[in-house]
Amino acid sequence: MQVLCDLDTIQEDQSKGFEIEGVSLFAVRKDGQVYVYQNQCPHLSIPLEYMPDQFLCSENYFIQCATHGALFEVDSGNCVSGPCVGDKLTQIESIVENNQIMIRLPESALA
């Protein structure tokens, strides 16, 4: 496991993007939990955000792809609206330990 950032870097109902070992990621803090995903829409394999660290819809309820408006559940990464319904974001294994968000990048992300 490696450190992504301090937990306090991401406020509740907010998101933040990262680049780790050449892999684009983002983390969302929601309902006291942290969720980390690869920053890649399953529909077009492009980054999700329209501005730095802007991965959530205007209500901060869903992750949203800025290109075509697909909506993804924060806790599962499942697409619930848009052209990739039935697909999901690639979740990155993460835990919070000693007030730090720790991640484990899968081999597939590093390829």
Question: For residue 35, what pLDDT is reported?
Answer: 98
- Write out the two tokens for 50: 């329209």
CATH number at residue 48: 2.102.10.10
- Give the Cβ contact number of residue 37 at 10 Å: 23
Distance, CA of 40 to CA of 9 (rounded, Å) = 22
Over residues 34-77, the pLDDT tens digits come to 999 999 999 888 999 989 999 999 999 999 999 989 999 999 99
Distance, CA of 99 to CA of 110 (rounded, Å) = 26
Residue span of the structural domain in which 70 resides: 2-110
Number of domains in the chain: 1
- Give the Cβ contact number of residue 85 at 10 Å: 12
